[in-house]
Chain A
């Protein structure tokens, strides 16, 4: 695979657009700086604004492979870094033992214990988990998703791997990345990520897209959607974001909604259709009640 490094933020935005992701100036600049300075990028923002999609698009746009590490509580080195494939090692040991014994009986040569032992800790018995994969498959975009869900111990460990772009497996030696992976971290702010980790990163807060951009995103993602329907969905989503809901819809939800409307064969939004498909965009009963009380007609008639 070849890596194509864009010349400017605008160049990166164009490369991202060719993969179907429309980034605004801030996000394109953040991605460009992360590539150019070789720094991890720390993304925060409302759920569904396209943080994860950005990392995937970045990999596609730069021709790098994509590795994702989803964080959760209790995540440890064996699940994030590497693990030995013990069952296969035992099979190997048994097979080697049997072969050596048979050979010894036939030829009278004692089995070479050292060789069998050395064969046990071979690279082929090492299972690469996401972090090791990212180091081995350079160039690579590594997405560490929802880093705030892992516990603090994991953060310190992640920091160490990111700083060196290398790990040491005691039985094998040091495994270093040819080119350090471009790391994108996302957080939902359920707890504060340690300063030491943040200090290493570029920080960007991803906003909901402006009206025109959202229309463009809908058209790009769903070619079947009509210009008028895309504009109506985008302005209705914009209005919902102003309504003080428990979970205001992100771009992901407006894409889902537009997809649902297209599946119903709609060419434009009317109040009945909107009321019937609200479940695609609002996920709380209180929010649906709120929008209904506000008037679905108003939603459909909303202007950006």
Chain B
């Protein structure tokens, strides 16, 4: 019934496994389709197998480069490169009880592995809210992370093109006539309809370069909270020396697992900054096509730019034209003596709708309100 022998199937399944290791989500049903596709083409030339596999196993442009490399490695007999985007280890987390009484040196026992107990009262919460992320101790950081997960950044709704039946509003001809049919063709009552509302898309661009290291963790957790609030209406990218889309990684329910998956996906952690290039990459691959159109775009960066400020200004001008609102979050904004003098920051200012701080929990809470405006 098939021209595909058993060993061919084995070879193809082996290739699919290699591809999965390399980071392409080629599930069993896709593998089955690939075998059917190779069979349908009826010949086993490298060209046929290449296209059959590529069109059945890949699902997005990011997969294509990985596929090409894996194909060359597997059928060329070289050892495939292993991608580091493996699923995050599941770690059960138990919320620490809010106990009263002396903390017993909570700071000294601050350990990543075991849930720490902090003595929290209203005033300590307030102090934590105002504490700069860069200055947090281990135990405080855990507590702040828990509070970060409770934020729900979401955009304000806009009018949608979709209409719904309503009590008042414009006349709905279809429903009116349908009702009339039921009354032997007498239009007894005018039905009406109204436009519905939909949330605007929220796009977060998080700078993960070296100068942002103290804040990157908190900001990515903020992004995770945003993705959890509106999984389909939020897009998160990291910028630095290159652009990485981390939305998928951040969809994980557990913040730690999501952060782990996101950091595995980011190749340029703590690297240099080429803001203009990263934003241009975002505009070319996503923004221009529609992701930024009518969206609320938030850039988290200190504005330290290695390239020329003019290039950054040009890209931001383009971004501001596409976006509904462009918000810039600079962790240094809230500090005393801050002036937006960093070359990139000064160039960015004319194009921004909002310029806010993002160095403390309170500042991020404020940002939630700015986003929802």
Contact = CB atoms under 8 A, between A and B. Distances in A.
Interface of A: 8-9, 25-26, 29-30, 32-33, 36-37, 39, 44, 47, 72-74, 76, 78, 83-84, 86-87, 89-90, 93-94, 97, 120, 148-149, 151-152, 188-192, 195, 198-199, 202-205, 244, 246-247, 286
A190 B181 contact: no
Contacts of A286: 314, 318
Interface in B153-174: 160-163, 173-174
Given A33-B52, A190-B290, A205-B64, A73 B161 contact: yes
A86 B178 contact: yes
Nearest to A154: B162
Given A73-B162, A86-B178, A199-B27, A37 B40 contact: yes
Interface in B40-63: 40-42, 47-48, 51-52, 54-56, 58-61
Contacts of B288: 246-247
Given A37-B36, A84-B178, A148-B290, A29 B41 contact: yes
B-side interface mostly: helix
B41 A74 contact: no
A50 B302 CA distance: 42
Contacts of A93: 181, 184-185
A39 B37 CA distance: 10
B335 interface: no
A9 B177 contact: no
Nearest to B186: A90
B174 A189 contact: no
B289 interface: yes
Contacts of B37: 33, 37, 202
Interface in B267-286: 280, 283-286
A90 B174 contact: no
Contact of B41 (A33, A202, A246): A33
Contacts of B285: 189
B40 A36 contact: yes
B232 interface: yes
Contacts of A195: 59
